[in-house]
Structure formats: C-alpha cells, structure tokens
Chains A and B, each alone.
Chain A
Amino acid sequence: MSRNLLLLLSCLSMAQLGHALPPPDSPWRDIASMRFSGDDGARLADASSTPGDKLAAATIALGTQPKTRANLERARTLLEAVIAPDLASAEALEARYLLARLRQVHAFEPDPLGAARDFLALYAAAPTSRPGQLALVRAVPIHVLLAVAPAERAETLVGLEALASTLPDADLRRGLHFALAETAQRCGEGDMAYRQYQLAEKIGLLNRTVQADVLLRIATLALERSEPDVAAAYYREFLRRFPTERRAYEVGQHLLPLGEAP
C-alpha cells in the first residue's frame, strides 16, 4: 500500500474519530499553554473530582510558581489519592509516573536515583502501558550514569538495548533509541550509539537541531568504524537538509577527504 494511501486512510480515520477529541473545557489545554493559577488547581482538586482532574490538579501544583513545599506536598497527596483505589488503573499508572518525576526533578532535594528505581518498578509492573514505557525511557540515563559502576555500564546498556524493540509506542520507542544512543556515546560505547542513533533517525527525529546533531554524530561514528561511505552519505544528507546551518561549511570540508565535492 502506498504511503500516500496510508496517509489518506489515517486522515479519514481521524475525521471519523472526531467525537474522540478532548472536551472543550479540558483543563489540559490551559495547562499545555501554562495558563493556570493555584485557584484552578484547588478547584480541580475538589474531593468530588475524577482521577483525571486530580492528575490535572497535581500537574498544576507542580507547575505553579513560585515553587513551594506546600504545592509539592499537595501534588504528592493528589497523586497518592489517584493511586489508592486501584494501583493498576490507567490513571494510577500515570500518577505513579508523575510521583517518580516529582522525585526526580521537581523536589527541592531531587533524588534521581530513587526516581530511577521507581521508574524501573513502574516499567516492570506495566511494561506495555504508556507510563511504563515512558518510565523506562526516563530511567535509562540516570540508571546507567549514576546507579551503575562505570565498569558495568556496557553490560547494563546491552540489557536495556534488548528492550528497545519491544516498546509498542513508536514515539517512546524512538525516545528509548535516542536515550540509549546518547547514553552509550557518553559511555564510550560507540557501536551501540551508532546502532541506536540510526534506529532513532529511521523512525524520524522531530526537532531540527536534534536531527542535524544526530546526522553528524552518526557520520563521526561511521568514520570511527572505518565506514567512510556511510559517513559521506550522512554528511550529504546533512547538507541536503540543512544547507544554511552553521556547521554546513565545515561538513563540506569533511567531504573533501572522502573524495566528494561539498
């Protein structure tokens, strides 16, 4: 089936799913554009609110400035209230993810190692859920760089790499490939970085700067592996997609010794 036909079918199915759009008064719209106040959070946090509202209220509490211990405590209480009735519900998994995130970045004394343990536990409990998959992506750099001894990083990365292809969500699979590639490169595991960058690039990275960086990183790794043809192909692709980028001139110079005109 051609790509265009697939695109058309996907558009049609989107149109048929019109009824599935978020409600017009969805609090997430305002949260997405950072339009909220502590009052919005208090209203949503009302005891009669749904688990979804509690998640929204907790997110508002995390995002309200200035950050206060009271707001963080409020977020924690709301998230625990979502988890309490049913640990395995979809909302409870979201809440567990957010609690780990609170521990990792929002807390006044961030605890990334504790958060990594929470993320891995969440993934183990619900590996095919979106929060579970996301938790795995979040855990990778913390676990490999901070929890594992340098001598054990390579082995740990290999174990994590085996999980990458099992993630059902394409966005999160790309995220895991990217996280593994970045981490592997920092740990000196060039071969894995090379593989994982290519897998992420194949799915399609979304930010232009990341796209440009990754093309050049793959080219450099290819040169380290004595694969000049692959390097040249990535350099050419970089020049095709980013002809005015600040590194374009230098990339053109890299192509010369590879026997190609810029």
Chain B
Amino acid sequence: MKAWSLPTLLARCGFALLGAGFVVSVIVALGHSRRQVSAGEHVLRFSHFNLEAGLRETYADIFRDYEALQRAAGRRVRIEQMAVPARAYPAWLRTQLIGDTAPDLMMVSRYHGMEETLLARHFSPITGEVAQPNPYNAGTPAEGQPWRDTFHDALHFTGYDPLLMEIYATPLTTNTVRIYYNRELARRILGSDPTPPRTYREFLAWCEATRRFAAQEDRPIAPIAGSLYNAQFLFGPLFSTQTQRLRGKLDARGDGVAHDLDVTLAALRGEWSLESTPVAHALALTREVGATMQPGFRQLGRDDAVFLFAQGRALMIATGSWAAPSLRTHSDFPLGVFTFPVPMADDPQYGAGVKGPSSETENLVFEGVAVSSRTTERELAIDFLRYLTSVPVATRFSRQTHLLSAVKAALVEEELAPFVPRHEGYTFGLSLSGLGDNTRQLTEQEGHLLHGPAGSVAAFVAAVQPGYAAALRADLARWRFNSLKSLMRQDVVFAAQSALAAQGEPGAARKAAQLLETQIQNELLLYWTDAELGRIESEPGR
C-alpha cells in the first residue's frame, strides 16, 4: 500500500472533513424541510437569542403546555423554537425578514439591531390587542386589566416605538441595574455585616474605607470593579440626576418630557452647553465615581470586571439583574445587592440639579416578542403571546430561569426581590448623546480625558467642545433621515387604509386617522427642526 506523505494526508483529511460537513448539513436541511405542516396543524415558529442555561428548556416546557391546552380545545398547534446566538441574531433576523422567511414570532431588541424601518415593514403592530384584557389572566390579580397595563412599564419603553407610535412587542423579562457586593469582604472592611449605603455620601464612605483597607493590607482592592461595559450602568443614571431640572426647562411642549430633538436644538441655540453648571456637575460626579474603579477600567471588558470581582479584588460591581445567576455561580462568597444611591436634592455638592429619584421603568429599552407582518397565523401568534405573558406562565418563566419577569403581578422569588424596579419617580435628565451615535462616539472617544489619572472635567470639555456642535448636527441629520423613511412607510399604509375606509372596510377609517395623528406629530418635528436650523444658521456670528 502506498504511504501518503504528511501534506497529502492532511489535505485528504481536510477534504474528508469538508465532505462529512456537507453530508451533515444536507441531512439537517432535509430533516428541517421534512418537518412539514400536516393537514389541520397550525405551526408557530418562534425565534430568540436566549441561549443561557435553562432558557431553551423553559421555553420548550411552556410551548408543550400551550400545545396541550390547544389540543384540549380541539386545535392541533405546534410551536418550533429557533434559538440563535445573540451575536449572530441581528444579521440572521435581517436575512429572514428580507428573504421573507421570518418566523411568526420573533424576539426583537433595540440592542440587537431592531430599528423603525424594519419594524414598519416587517412587523405587525399589536396596539389594538394590548388595549384589551388578557384572557389568560382570569383569576389572577391582573384579571380585567388591559394586557398592556400588566407589564412593569405598561409597554411605554419595551413595546412602543415612539416614531411609529405603535406597540409592537411584549417583553418577557425586565432588567434593573444594581450594585452587587462581596459580603465577606464588606465585613472585613467595614466590620460586622454592614447595612448597604442609603445615600451617596455613605457610598463614598464605603469606597474610602475600601481604599484604606487595601492600603493596610497592601493588596490591590478597588471599591468597584469597572469596565467600559459596567461603567455605563452607573454613569448614565448619575449624569441624569444632575440634569433633571435642566431638561425640565427645555420641555418646549409642556408635556413633562423634553424630546431629545428639543434638547439637541437647545444646545445648538446655546441654551445649554458642556460648560453649563448642571453639565459640569454631572461630569464631575461621573469622574468622582469613575475614580472608585480600578485604574484603566475603560480598556477592560465585562468579563474582566466580573473576574476581578469574583477574585475578591473589588468590593462591588455594577451590573444588571440578568447577571445575578452567573455572578452567584462564579463567586465563592455570599453576595449582597443594593440599589445605587445616586445623589438626591439634599446632597451638599450635587443636589442643585436633582428633582428626585427617577422611575426605573425609564431605563427599559425596546425589547420583547413581536409578530411578523407576514404570518398567516396572526391570531394564534397573539394568543400564544397572551399565554406566554400571563401571570401564571410569567411566574413559572421567572422561577425556572431566575430572571425577573416583565409582568408586574408575576410572583417574585425572594432572590429576585432586590431587583424589582421602582415605578414612582421623576423623568430622567438629559445626556450628552440623547439623539444619536455621533455625539456618543465623540464623548466616548474623549472619555479617557475625564477618567484618566491626569484627566479632568476641563480637559474633557476642551476636547469635546470643538466637535460637539457638528456631532449634534450629524445626529439631527440622521434622525431626519430616519423620520422621512418612517413617513414614507406610513404613507403607503395610510393610503391603503384610507382607500379601504372609502370602500367600507370596518376599522380602516380609524387606522387611517391614527396614522394621520402620528404623521402630523412627526412632520411637525421635522419642519420645526428645519425652521430652527435655518434660523440658527442665519444668526449673526454663526
């Protein structure tokens, strides 16, 4: 037998592996295509990116129960789960949507690339349905309530698209940010089992005690384990506390929330700047808290911060409720949890711009399960969503996944109690990058000047200021582009609903009138922006 040389052997092995891969792919593809819908069977395909341990199994359990429920009612239903890794999900979903092969139900998220143009074209609003009670809540505290109101944020943030002015999604989980601390280390640093800080000053005292302890022990122990990822959870809310009153003054429409557009235009008009007192305080506060993290935290990622904390080299870490299961797994010490005590109006240094505590539901972002506009099973898909977000099923989902449910009346396990969001509170202050990515990139790019050891508020402002107006304008241009795109989409639907209304289609006139309201508001903002930009440009000295 002829002996093969090593390169030949490797090449043949490579071809063999390639061939085996092809055969496996064909078998998988054929297997998938064979899962045809049999006569009388209703199939719902449900895609998500929750690959964390236990989630797929929980979904599967709930799907089987729903199928059994439907079977008992004489309907054959099958729900297929399509779990796709989070990193690949946005591209995968976009391909499915454009290729017209999208599942009936899809987990969508602003963090995973979901934007207005995709929503308008490929998803079916559920605004009408969520105004009605969820029948699966019969016999629960949420019985009779509009489905919408059974969620922590009444779907204002998680399900509602402000540009399209429609509700598209229902969330399954809700997330809050908390400070986790090493209770064992806290005992050593602070003595006994200390009560978590209730004020910003008490928090600073914890940090100071940690620094002293580290110096005594000659060990590198940071008050907070930081990374670029974790820091954002503190810096955003902290900044917001200082600018609450400023934002209130910029509320041009008098409805209690200054639109990011008005905030941006106000900056271009010179009504506030990076040197305004509230902004200067916000930057100083952010720098102060940044200094409680280990040096160089901006160069580190999430895993680095978790590692530092798990190694006992930091007393605290700021992260979301979603991280609780893994932090418990990775830490061999008891964990404590508390809400970060941001400065309040009575703080001697940072109280002036504060109105009061903010509602944590404002932290929530668009994320939930949405219905495809192409599904042939819309009614069934919405029924399943009602089931999935009913109080009993949401309680079960939370219990099995150890995640806080988005449904208010779902029972909360003791371990999740510290994560329940605070509903009451004032609206948020402004941020430096409320309208878009250009200002965000600019401020992040120069962040080292704020947080570096030799940095300062003045150095940061000096670096950001020259490019800030241009970045604001670029954000406005992007917002304008997206607004026009949405108007175009809405226009087509509006024309169709108007025509259907003229032909006597029930409900069409109302849908057209609703869209008209949406468009009036969006067009007003568009032309107001144009008028204001024109006026600003024509001012002497510009």
Contact = CB atoms under 8 A, between A and B. Distances in A.
B18 interface: no
Given A26-B503, A63-B489, A171-B516, A146 B527 contact: yes
B79 to A, nearest CB: 23
Given A26-B503, A249-B425, A207 B165 contact: yes
A175 B513 contact: yes
A81 interface: no
Contact of A185 (B127, B253, B256, B504): B253
Question: Chain A interface residue count: which class?
Answer: 35 or more
B520 A178 contact: yes
Contacts of B51: none
Interface string B352-376: 0001000101100000000001100
Question: Chain B interface residue count: which class?
Answer: 35 or more
Nearest to B130: A208
B514 interface: yes
A210 B522 CA distance: 11
Given A110-B484, A175-B516, A246 B362 contact: yes
Interface stretch (A14-22, A120-128, A155-163): A14-22
Given A31-B495, A183-B524, A245-B156, A22 B504 contact: yes
Given A31-B496, A182-B520, A182-B521, A206 B253 contact: no
B427 A250 contact: yes
Given A63-B489, A178-B520, A250-B427, A216 B484 contact: no
Contact of A17 (B257, B487, B504, B508): B504
Contact of B513 (A23, A26, A62, A171): A171
Given A59-B496, A63-B488, A175 B514 contact: no
B156 A246 contact: yes
Contact of B527 (A34, A67, A112, A207): A112
Nearest to A188: B252
Contacts of B504: 17, 20-22
Contacts of B514: 206-207
Interface in B102-148: 120-122, 124, 127, 131
Nearest to A14: B506
A217 B252 CA distance: 10
B530 interface: yes
A89 B395 CA distance: 59
Interface string A137-172: 110011001100010000000000000000000011
Chain A at the B interface: SS class: helix
A55 B497 CA distance: 13
A59 B517 contact: no
B293 interface: no
A58 to B, nearest CB: 9
A32 B254 contact: no
Most buried by A among B154, B487, B499, B508: B499
Most buried by B among A14, A31, A35, A206: A206
Interface of A: 14, 17, 20-23, 26, 28-29, 31-35, 52, 55-56, 59-60, 62-63, 65, 67, 98, 101, 105-106, 110, 112, 130, 134, 137-138, 141-142, 145-146, 150, 171-172, 174-175, 178-179, 182-183, 185-186, 205-210, 212-214, 216-217, 219-221, 244-247, 249-251
A-B complex: 6 closest residue pairs judged by Cβ atoms:
A220-B254, A22-B503, A63-B492, A32-B496, A20-B504, A31-B496
Given A63-B489, A130-B498, A206-B514, 15 more contacts: A26-B503, A32-B511, A33-B124, A52-B499, A62-B495, A106-B488, A146-B530, A179-B520, A183-B524, A209-B160, A209-B162, A213-B255, A217-B255, A249-B424, A249-B425
